[in-house]
Amino acid sequence: MDLSGKRYNNLNTELKRIFGKKVAKLSIDGGFTCPNRDGKVGFSGCIFCGERGAGEFTSRRGSVKEQALEQIKIIGKKWHTDSYIIYFQNFTNTYAPLDKLKRLYEEALELPGVVGLAIATRPDCLDDEIIKYLKELNARTFLWVELGLQSIHENTSDFIRRGYSLEVYDMVVNKLRNESIRVVTHLIIGLPYETSEDIIESIKYVGRTGTWGLKIHSLYIQRDTDLFRFYMENPFRILTKDEYVEIITEGLKYVPKEMIIHRLTGDGDKSLLVEPKWSGDKLSVISQIDRIMKEKDIYQGQNLIL
């Protein structure tokens, strides 16, 4: 159990340990697109991806500096902190010429109070030149790179139109780890037709990669996605809140205790949310996970201890 009372190694506590205080993330729209939208890989994006490319909570207005200052006004009142990590969140944030990446990332690092960068991207958009620059960034700021794997299963990958293979993910994870760059892997729990056993296999697999972090999302259906249109024509079973919590608490047993848990549920735009309704109350889901783990004496990594 960590110092926050959680039975898993959560990001908030880890950042407090490293920086000695609360560090807030500022979600920024860097103006990127995605190879799964502009025709390089596909045109429609991943089936669950909305019009904002998972950036529903970015401000979308102005430069990196202007967006960050706008968010600081809001977040500063809530968190009472002067330390921030700039999170390039929506679409694919390394899918651009290197000079553009440098301009945006350097602009972010020049802002007062910024102690690090988080960059969400795809493993097929991290060539050696970009990784070399990320290595340089990693030497002078706190950096992590997020990769949207979602599932290890090929039939699921094809269904969600991910557009790259598990082998590409493995190769890029190894390259980043060889340069001591922190990697966070995204998984989605509740994708159509996956069993609880399938999901646990994905969690175990990511656990074995030895990456720095894991970010778990609950599947939610938004009106502005192809998944919504598919669901309307082909209704599939959606996990209940209790089922979701059971899978999470079981899966955490197989996550190495040193791996940082960045997220345990999803929270999309409530104005667009169709199903499941329970996903709109993130705090309730987290509270139930915490309660069940305590009641059943579950903690992260317990099934990996020999």
225: domain CATH number? 3.20.20
Q: Token pair for residue 216?
A: 């778990």
Instruction: Please say if the pLDDT value at position 54 is more than 50.
Output: no
| Count of domains forming the chain | 1
The verdict on residue 6 lying in a domain is no
Give pLDDT tens digits for 4-44: 679 999 999 999 999 999 999 999 999 999 999 999 999 88
Domain extent at residue 157 = 11-304
Q: What is the pLDDT of residue 74?
A: 84
Which residue is it, tokens 């968190």?
A: 79
The verdict on residue 110 lying in a domain is yes
The verdict on residue 56 lying in a domain is yes
Distances (CA, A) of 146 to 157, 176, 207, 214, 246: 18, 11, 15, 9, 25
How many CA atoms within 13 Å lie on the side-chain side of 27? 14
Instruction: Please say if the pLDDT value at position 59 is more than 60.
Output: no
Q: What is the pLDDT of residue 5?
A: 79
Work out the average pLDDT over 69-87.
88
* Residues of the chain above pLDDT 90, percent: 86
The verdict on residue 4 lying in a domain is no
Instruction: Please say if the pLDDT value at position 57 is more than 60.
Output: no
Q: Token pair for residue 5?
A: 């009372």
Q: What is the pLDDT of residue 56?
A: 44
Q: What is the pLDDT of residue 11?
A: 97
Q: What is the pLDDT of residue 132?
A: 98
pTM of the model: 0.93
Instruction: Please say if the pLDDT value at position 80 is more than 50.
Output: yes
- Judge whether 148 and 112 are in contact, CB under 8 Å: no
> Cα–Cα distance between 43 and 116 in angstroms, integer?
32
Banded pLDDT at 111 (limits 50, 70, 90)? very high
Work out the average pLDDT over 150-158.
97
The verdict on residue 33 lying in a domain is yes
> Cα–Cα distance between 277 and 139 in angstroms, integer?
43
Residue 202: name the closest of 268, 251, 129, 256 by CA.
251
